[in-house]
């Protein structure tokens, strides 16, 4: 039987009840299908990964671009898709709500809202406004079954204040976020403190390079692990090494490290 959007949303919520799982981030339909093929039970979009596929910098895409991308991902796979919905593509809570409604209609099983402003002088929204934005997103999601993720971006912007992060995340939980996320946390102590603070709601950990293993994160109480733009950067790494070799040396040795075309055809066949 076909897997419905309601099925995906119910499955995704169930995944957050216990244990720890990896939520990898594809950057296009092909990489999404590959991750499903490899056995991952859910995936999440990447704002950076997607932006690079259309030749733009991260946070330089429109809500139209992202909703089209999300709809393509959701229709391409039978597993839940969590949307990296940046800051809701608006400042005002009512406009965030309008965009979240559009995001939900793409078929996503989860959707995250950030509190970063993009302004280096004032990198995160004032607390009251940030909370209202989460409340607006919660109301927009309604009874669709889509899971709401509240993100505190402080550490990514150099505001390494753990008390602030915990205060924000607990406020977002009270405002209706189902899952909490603070990208940039590094130490076991900080991760454990945030997990404890938001409990019993699940916490998402970002791992963008060598770091904790799945089991080590699980031991700290982390419920899910995402990788942001790391898979996209890995793919671009291979591409750029091969392209630079051709451009600078006129040789082609990097092609030897490419994934076999026959295996790709078999996977997508």
Work out the mean pLDDT of the chain and round it to a whole number. Answer: 97
Burial of residue 102, with CB atoms counted within 10 A of its CB: 0-12 exposed, 13-18 middle, 19 or more buried: middle
Taking only the tens place, the pLDDT of each residue in 110-120 is 999 999 999 99
pTM recorded for the entire structure: 0.97
The predicted-structure confidence for 41-89, as pLDDT tens digits, reads as follows: 999 999 999 999 999 999 999 999 999 999 999 999 999 999 999 999 9
pLDDT higher than threshold 80 for residue 1:
no
Give the pLDDT band of residue 178 (cuts 50, 70, 90).
very high
- Identify the structural domains of the chain with CATH numbers, from first to last: 5-228 (3.20.20.60), 230-269 (no CATH)
pLDDT confidence bin for 238, thresholds 50/70/90:
very high
For residue 209, name the pLDDT band (cuts at 50, 70, 90).
confident
- Mean pLDDT, residues 11-27: 98
């Amino acid at each position: 039987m076909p897997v419905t959007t309601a099925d995906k949303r119910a499955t995704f919520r169930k995944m957050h009840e216990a244990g720890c799982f990896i939520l990898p981030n594809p950057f296009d339909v092909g990489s999404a299908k590959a991750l499903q093929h490899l056995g991952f039970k859910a995936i999440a979009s990447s704002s950076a990964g997607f932006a690079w596929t259309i030749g733009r910098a991260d946070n330089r895409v429109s809500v139209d671009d992202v909703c089209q991308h999300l709809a393509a991902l959701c229709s391409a796979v039978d597993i839940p898709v969590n949307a990296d919905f940046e800051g809701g593509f608006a400042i005002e809570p009512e406009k965030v709500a309008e965009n979240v409604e559009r995001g939900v209609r793409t078929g996503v099983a989860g959707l995250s809202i950030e509190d970063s402003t993009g302004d280096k002088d004032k990198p995160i929204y004032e607390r009251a406004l940030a909370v209202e934005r989460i409340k607006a997103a919660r109301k927009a999601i309604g009874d669709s079954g889509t899971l709401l993720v509240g993100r505190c971006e402080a550490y990514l912007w150099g505001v390494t204040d753990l008390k602030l992060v915990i205060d924000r995340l607990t406020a977002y939980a009270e405002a209706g976020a189902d899952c909490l996320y603070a990208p940039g946390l590094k130490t076991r102590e900080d991760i454990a403190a945030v997990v404890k603070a938001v409990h019993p709601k699940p916490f998402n950990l970002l791992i963008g390079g060598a770091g904790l293993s799945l089991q080590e994160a699980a031991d700290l109480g982390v419920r899910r692990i995402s990788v942001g733009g790391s898979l996209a950067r890995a793919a671009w790494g291979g591409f750029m090494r091969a392209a630079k070799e051709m451009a600078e040396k006129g040789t082609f040795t990097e092609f030897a490290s490419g994934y076999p075309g026959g295996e790709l055809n078999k996977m997508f066949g």
